[in-house]
A and B are shown apart, each in its own frame.
Chain A
Amino acid sequence: MTTGAFTVYRSSAGSGKTYTLVRHYLKHALSSEQPFHTILAITFTNKAASEMKQRIIDALQAFAGHMKLDAANESLCRDLCGDLQLSEAELRHRSAHLLKMILHRYSDFHVRTIDSFLHKIVRTFARDLGLNVNFQIELESDPMLAEAVDRLIYRAGQPESSTLTALLVDFVLSKTEDEKSWNTFDRDIFKVAQTLMDEDSFHYLEKLRDISLDAFVATGRDLRRLKNQSEKTITEWAHKACVLIAESGLTVDHFQQKSKGIAGFFEKLTSDVSVKNLQPNSYVLDAIYEDRWYSANSKDGRGRVIDRIKPELIACYEQIRKHVSFYILAEAVLQNLYATAVLHEINDILEALKKETAAVLISDFNKHIASVVRDEPAPFIYERVGEKFLHYMIDEFQDTSAMQWLNILPLVENALANGGTALLVGDGKQAIYRWRGGDLEQFSRLPEIPGSEMSDRLVETEAALKQHYQEEPLKYNYRSLPEIVSFNNRFFEWLAHFKETELQKIYHDIRQLPKNGSSGGYIHIEFLPRADETTIEDRINEKLLETIRMLEKDGYAWKDMAILTRNNERGSAIARFLMSRDIHVVSAESLLIDQSAEVRIILAVMRYLNDALDDVNCMALMNGILTGALGRTPTSEDRRIMAEAIQDKKHDRRQFLSWLEERGFVLDESRLLSQPLYEMAEDIVRTFLPSLTASPFVIYFLDSVLNYSIKYDNTLMNFLKWWDIQKNKLSIVSPDETDAVRVSTVHKAKGLEFPVVIIDETGWQFKKTRDYIWTELRSKPFRTLPAVLLKSHSSLEETECKKTYEEESDKNFIDQANLLYVAMTRAKERLYLFSVLTKKAAENKITELKSVNDVIASFLRQSMNWEEGKMTYAFGDTAQPLRNKMDERPSVALENYATSPQRPKLRTKRHSCFQPYDDLSRREWGKLVHAALAQIRTLDDIVPVLSAEESEGWLDSKQSRDLSEKLLRLLGHKMVKPYFEPGVRVRTEAEVFLDSKELLRMDRVVILDHEIVVIDYKTGEEEGEEHTAQIQRYGRALEKLGYPVIKKILVYIEDEKIVPVA
């Protein structure tokens, strides 16, 4: 491995990228010059970091031991010996040492996720950035954003926000004009406000900062006026055309394509000017530009009439066209104008909210760093952070956002300048996170830095990167069998050349070699006959079932199979279907905690506790108990009784509660409500699901409750609200070895591999991955706005932002191709694709790739052995499954567990029972005084001890003053004063152990040369007998210890009395 200081690996699926990273890490760590703590490896996902750590340690362990190496480690060993010019013996020796170093300086073993690295920096500089140094990390921005939008809207009508009110009224009214729903404007604002989280917006938002709300209102009104004008003009011209047509004795039907054609175009515009109607379809264009106005076989002479009025119609068309661009843009701009206008306000509220809750959004890390820290010299950052790195390694670079890279770049540059290295690994073909800010171009253009021309510093950095730049390919595919590798090679090579875009650049390295010595692999493509939507889904379900059955016969287990779908909805339907056929399935939905019937019972009880009046919930609970807990199907009789139980509302739900009781479930409201959430949940489990064994759903529900109560509060109402928002995200952790078919979206499958992958392509459209695009408009009325946010829509092609839109759709195409790439490269042994032949594909009339189905069909048609009417294409052989030996850790099942009622008692401290402070009971007071006296060794201690008690809030200042005066008087009395002088040997709270196994604790014992004095403080009234007896016991105990002269004194604090006892 000869590398420059700045190395980029462009990897592909299955090309051993972790191996490369591990090798690189070890190369630096084992070279003698640099200790390992100067290496920082950054990964993207949670699992990747721990996997990499594990691999490094395992490799070192293998080298350090004297055992024979397995194949992977042997090749790693060979590579490293080569890299470092070392003998194997020396390498093994160094490895042993390095392993010990890493294990015992583990905090310096820097393999981290990017979030954790950035977090560290933000945490370090929190105070400098004006953040609360104890800030909480908030992962979800949506709830806070929604709150911010709410607060903003609530300002409408407040006297100090008149402009805002005007703007919002305009907004809502513009929605009515748009014929859109008007009471969802808050959701519209929310949607647009989500762009605040999007780092691409940053730049545009800055531009908008100085535009006042008034200016927005004015622009909005202007645009609406102009739009209405142009609408009117369009209608007029359309009307003119229609009149002309009618006066010539023609109707729409006389024109080519009738109402779909040019005449229909005019006709529609007379009644309804809309973006949809303004976009000419191909028939309209045919008429205008190809002179196809009527069908050639029109014999009745109408053609001639049409020919006569054609020029005038074209003129009308041209007149309308003049307004189209403006109209579309005005419409598009207005759609988001008002929401855009309040973005800064929302942002301000959001910031205030974060301050209030001392929260920092995880998505803010980059902004905070970018705002100041990035421009600081590296030594400063290193010093403050307390770590210093010389070697950087970044994994999954294609998913890195521009801001993330720019934030790390100064440190990387510093490393390069100081003899360090940087290594980036990425795969442009697997970039599927553009919508989360992943910047593909940044990767594909390396070592260039996009936007470097904007700053001198970046130009320098770029030069440095270029100077050290070196690119390394990773040629082999270690995952898939050769047939699959070569099919994917051909398929994506073909796809890359379908479009002249960045795609080609990204896919130029698509060609992979299969792993040496491997053979086999199978690809199966099948087109299902066309049918209407509902039945195609059923048909694919059956097909999947059939395939699974066949795979079982071939020797595959369920867990070897994965079904990949484009979206979760489809995945859910498939999973439901397979489950109904008794096939075990693990899918995103099947793992949701909320999908468990038991959890529904717990939740229903909680909801009941929160709102007993909710009839539907009561019914759900009863239904759940019958079907779930009692496991039977409710009869009509059951239904009737349940309905009646609910109807009885007068008596506190008595009938409902006794319904439960009759079935053995006692819902004790007051007991449940008095417990913290977690205990409440455990209690409900115990009461309502007593026979439950280890249900993963219930246990992870409890876990969610626990985490909620740790992070937020114990308020039931809040928890239930939180649950409703979170329930679609909270899943159980399923052990990987469960034998079940995985049903997953492609996104979720990234980074995974399966022996068999089945892709359902039937509904897979090339959809938009981004809803909005920012752009700057130059034409007249729009110029007043420095930036606008437009909904990405094909109509924009008719306007001046054609280019922006096309760029966006090119990027979108790449997203889709990449998604497909990820999907098709998951398979190790077999790959099944189920597809439909769209009408166009069947007729070979594809000009544009609109769905994966089209792509597959076109590919087969153009590059493979397409046969008309043939529906199934297979490549390679269906061999037996390969079984790799697995070195899994043994697992034990948690079959059942206890939920026992262990409510611990609390120990009472100084006060056993609370009393208001200004009315301390004597008992309290006594304890307090005793505690203070234990700390008093000499008279001089009295004031400081009591002032400390005071500042801790046990005494107010008057009490403290009174008590200290009293003690000074009392203990200064000549009878006891000598025992409070400095220099006497004193033990307070002195303990004596008696051979009767008792322990006595005496308030104060003073040991003088010839005598010993025991003092007992009393805060109550003098009680004679009892007190005397007690101190006499002390005396006897001391006698036992061998003291000859013993003095016993009772000191009554309240009465200021000193009583010597004989």
Chain B
Amino acid sequence: MKTFLDELADDLITRHENLGDLCVVFQNRRACLFFKLALQRTLAQSSWMPDVYAIEDFNQAVSGIHEADPMLALFELYACYGDAGGNDSFELFAPWGEMLLKDFNDIDHDLADAPSLFGSLDKAKAMERWNPGGEDVTPFQDQFINFWSLLAAMYESLQRKLQDKHQSLAGRIAREVAENIDEYLARHSWKKIIFAGFNALTAAEEKLFKKLVKDKRAEIFWDTDEYYLNHELQEAGHSIRRYAKAWIPSDWKFRSERLIKDSKNVDIIGAAKKAVQAKVAGNIIREWLEEGKSPISIAVVLADESLLLPLLYSMPESVKSVNISMGLSLRSTPLYDLIMNIFQMHASSEERNRSGQSYYYLDILRLLAHPFIQNLFKDRSLIRACKSKILKENIVFLDPDNLEELEPIRFLLFQWKNTDHSISTFKELVQKLSVGADMSVFELEMLTEFGNIVNRLKMLTSAYKLDLGVKGFQNLLTGALSATRLSFSGEPLEGIQIMGVLETRSLDFENLIVVSANENILPSAKVNHSLIPFDIRKGFGLSTYLDKDAIYAYNFYRLLQRAVSIRLIYDTEPNELGEGEQSRFITQLLHEWPAINPNVRLNQRLVTLPAESASSPAHPRYVINVNKDEAILATLDRYFEKGVSPSALNKFITCSLQFYFRYVANLFPPDEVEETIEPDIFGNAVHAVLAELYEPYRGQTLSAGAIDTMIEKVEKCVLKAFTHQLHEGSLDFGKNRLLVDVGVNIIKDFLHNEKERVQTAPVSVLELEKTFSRLITVSANGREKNIHLNGKLDRVEKFGDLIRIVDYKTGQPKDNLNVDDFKKLETVQDQSMERQVLFYAYVLAGEMQLAAMESGVYFFREIRKGFRPLIVSKNTRVELGALMEFENLLKSVLGKLVDPETPFEQTADRALCQRCDYARICMRDQVSPEI
């Protein structure tokens, strides 16, 4: 297949003596490169090469005017805006400022008269246009008119100021060139200028082309097909039809009829979502290569460039090289994340901790996890040391001065008061990273670009004396990073081509895959990215979405001209706003093409993925049973020595597998920094406080006075108890601060209750937080074991004549602690509290030889309701009979634990799994898809 560029090269070589006399201009740089290659392929003898430019470079080269750097232009524009009296902050200004720069460019590209354009909307005209009833302008309209009135002045002064710096916006340069081409050309020696592959021209281009063609100093090579030229409504031919009517001779060279006559094989493939599209493209490539197509004849056009990585990872192994002609935005590199993490760290330090001297631990952990940061540590074990220190000491806000392990990144950790601070931090970062040994070329390239941006920003901010604030600086930096692209290396003449839509201009490929052929991508969405209202744009000849659509259409159809095998892949899933069906171009092709070209074969297909229920965790294969082998039995024996606690017993009853994980496999949920007072911390603290307060009075009969003394100490004790568990300083603010208050309040309430109680009957506290133990013999299936039962009793007291076991609970209260049926107690999850207090009674009875006692709970959420004793068959006392029954129960339950034939099994009650630490192992950690 001969490409457009091959044909062009042929033509120029045959018709021109000295190629060095020529200047060849394309729309884009990629075409320049490919054209030179085409020339070299065709040339048989030594020769000058022509000068080859993309149109923008041509404009700069011919005029010698430099295109202004976008960032500089934006700063300059902001200055102009300030001069004109505008007062948006830079942060707010920047996004629309960029839009305005584009509008200014458009005005010049299309040779519009800026003063009259910006003069077209004063109050009087606005009223006429907008308020048909003749009402006055609304305040909202007025706001817009006022804004609009600034623009004319901004346009003028910006152009002037840039000129002073020997620079201009691209549009302005184009306009200059168009208006003064003779003068500029005199400085160059080209005999002929060749414009090739153009389609829709800006007004400036049209003027330039027209003039040079008239003067016989230029030739234009259009690349078109009759398919879209012939029909009035085909937008792809829109511009050229117009030029043909007005000023170009109708017999230009490359007027093909390929789309009408050639046979083509087109598959239109629907696939759901991005990754699937990429995989489908990969499969097509594999097929093609297997069919023997040469890699170089294949191109993948990514209408949505974010599919680049997925596509690369979908290539069949046989693909050895690819040539990617689109950049990778710095936005999607690890460096970007590092920068954002650093910003975030400073921001949350500001937000959460006004002093800005200490840093939120999650931010630090995130930073430490970054591979670049890890490179800064010569001794990696320091990182682990930091991490475990933070976790162990529950440090929520971390003062870097107190953690010397952080030394290698100490330079990142100081308070940023202004932009300069952040800039110098980043400069240092770049410096430190770039000398590191572990950097790949790829990473060094990122750093170079980043360093460059930082430098540029530093120079610009100081030149314009702007303090952007940290946030403003961040925005600017993110914008610049997103706009900066790294290019991939590759051999243009080898391998499969991967490119964006715009890069394909003037290029041709025999085998073509277009990915993301969806509306809003191909063509891009109809958004009015302009501050100039549509009607005004139209009135002044600026381009509109219609022009943009037409350009896309041309690019698309032109690509089809020489291609033979075409695969158009689109996403079948609409976007979040319900937009983005298959591209209109697909719809057009389907409805029009076959009728015109009988040789084209259009096939439509949908891609499906095999559904496989077998891989679901709900599948029977994922059921976990653990049989007791010798090793496990041995572990259990050791465990029986150590003793069974009530909570272990409860675990075993509700889910024996959970018991296995916790007590046999010894799996613990991970250490985490407790940022806030979690329920268990709160509970522990309350227990600790009460133990401490009562300790001095153990063994005595409590007096009201004693309790008064305790009440006085509550505050101090509570603080102490919490600080014991949470890192200092985290109790002053937020939720913790509130919960400390709550702790103080409920303990005081409790003590006030106590005070009333000690006046009704004598109370003496016998034991506090003491563990009692009792041995029980259990046998099953021929195995007999002595098992220790351990119960830690919060408090044992004598109330009146009766011994009472008290358990404090800060969690959810239960209305009654009731045992009616011991059978139920053996299985029902709901009765865990009852089992617990019975357990206590059982162990205490063993120790103290008691015939009757009370055992029950204080619910701190219901202090008013006082002590709640366990009721066994309507009796608030636990007596021997009940304990006997309980012993039987224990024997039966623990029998299952002793029994080597009974495996550990998952619970049937999935609700339990939702709160279980091991749910991830069981893969039962969620069952509620949202509606």
Contacts and interface: CB of A to CB of B under 8 A. Distances in A.
Given A173-B742, A616-B667, A905-B442, A137 B576 contact: yes
B623 to A, nearest CB: 9
Contact of A45 (B578, B622, B929): B578
Interface stretch (B331-339, B786-794, B820-828): B331-339
A285 interface: no
B930 A376 contact: no
B665 interface: yes
Contacts of A991: 36, 48-49
B528 A124 contact: yes
B666 interface: yes
A615 B670 contact: yes
Interface stretch (A210-218, A890-898, A1053-1061): A890-898
A706 B813 contact: no
B273 interface: yes
Interface string B359-380: 0001001100111001000000
B929 A176 contact: no
Contacts of B292: none
A637 interface: yes
A710 B306 contact: yes
A610 B931 CA distance: 31
B667 A695 contact: no
Given A676-B332, A992-B49, A728 B66 contact: no
Given A377-B131, A715-B341, A995-B44, A983 B187 contact: yes
Interface in B750-790: none
14 contacts: A47-B574, A376-B138, A585-B613, A616-B661, A634-B624, A676-B334, A695-B615, A713-B340, A718-B366, A728-B926, A728-B928, A897-B279, A905-B442, A1041-B47
Contact of A670 (B20, B99, B371, B612): B371
A893 to B, nearest CB: 5
A714 B306 CA distance: 14
Query: Which bracket fits the contact residues of A?
Result: 35 or more
B666 A119 contact: no
A322 interface: no
B280 interface: yes
A339 interface: no
Given A640-B632, A706-B306, A154 B733 contact: yes
B69 interface: yes
A168 B616 contact: no
Interface stretch (B244-252, B452-460, B687-695): B452-460
B489 A894 contact: no
B741 A906 contact: no
A516 to B, nearest CB: 32
Interface stretch (B558-566, B603-611, B703-711, B712-720): B603-611
Interface string A968-991: 000000000000001101110011
Given A156-B735, A158-B733, A617-B920, A914 B444 contact: yes
B617 interface: yes
A157 B187 contact: no
B926 A128 contact: no
Contact of A728 (B319, B613, B624, B929): B929
Given A670-B371, A676-B334, A733-B273, A894 B928 contact: no
Contacts of B370: 715
Contacts of B581: 49-50, 53
A772 interface: no
A172 B741 contact: yes
Contacts of B682: 183
A1044 interface: no
Contacts of A643: 664-667
A900 interface: yes
A943 B66 CA distance: 12
Nearest to A139: B576
B848 interface: no
Interface stretch (B309-317, B400-408, B499-507, B648-656): B309-317
Contacts of A891: 605-608
A783 B610 CA distance: 63
A597 B622 contact: yes
Contacts of A113: 577-579
B214 interface: no
A48 B96 CA distance: 34
A49 B130 contact: no
B732 interface: yes
A916 B528 contact: no
Contact of B72 (A385, A898, A951, A986): A951
User: Can you list the 7 inter-chain pairs with the closest CB atoms, starting with the nearest?
Assistant: A953-B456, A386-B534, A944-B166, A113-B578, A907-B489, A46-B578, A991-B49
Interface string B36-72: 1001100111111101000000000000101011001
B679 interface: yes
A218 to B, nearest CB: 19
B445 interface: yes
Interface string A625-658: 0011001011111011011001100000000000
A195 B135 CA distance: 38
B315 A900 contact: yes
B180 to A, nearest CB: 16
Contacts of A572: 927-929
B746 interface: yes
B490 A907 contact: yes
Interface residues of B, number: 200
A112 B274 contact: no
Given A115-B576, A748-B931, A991-B48, 13 more contacts: A103-B584, A106-B584, A116-B577, A154-B733, A591-B929, A613-B671, A616-B668, A699-B276, A899-B313, A900-B314, A900-B319, A902-B312, A950-B459
Contacts of B275: 699-700, 702-703, 706
A753 interface: no
B166 A947 contact: yes
Given A154-B734, A943-B166, A579 B340 contact: no
Contacts of B487: 906-907, 909
Interface string B273-288: 1111001101100100
A894 B737 contact: no
Contacts of B129: 379-380, 383
Given A169-B741, A597-B923, A891-B608, A589 B734 contact: no
A377 B366 contact: no
Contact of B579 (A112, A154, A585, A994): A112
Interface stretch (A422-430, A483-491, A737-745): A737-745
A911 B434 CA distance: 13
B617 A892 contact: no
A576 B618 contact: yes
Interface string B301-335: 00000100110111111010010100010001110
Contacts of A43: 578
Contact of A982 (B187, B341, B611): B187
A119 B577 CA distance: 8
Interface string A367-378: 000001101110
A592 B642 CA distance: 43
Contacts of B336: 713-714
Given A696-B610, A987-B20, A165 B332 contact: no
A983 B189 CA distance: 9
B578 A694 contact: no
A992 B604 contact: no
A568 B928 contact: yes
Interface stretch (B140-148, B199-207, B887-895): B140-148
B116 interface: no
Contacts of A937: 64, 187
Contact of A99 (B133, B434, B591, B617): B591
Interface in A858-893: 889-893
A892 B309 contact: no
Nearest to A617: B920
Given A112-B578, A615-B668, A914-B434, A598 B615 contact: yes
Contacts of B455: 917, 953, 956
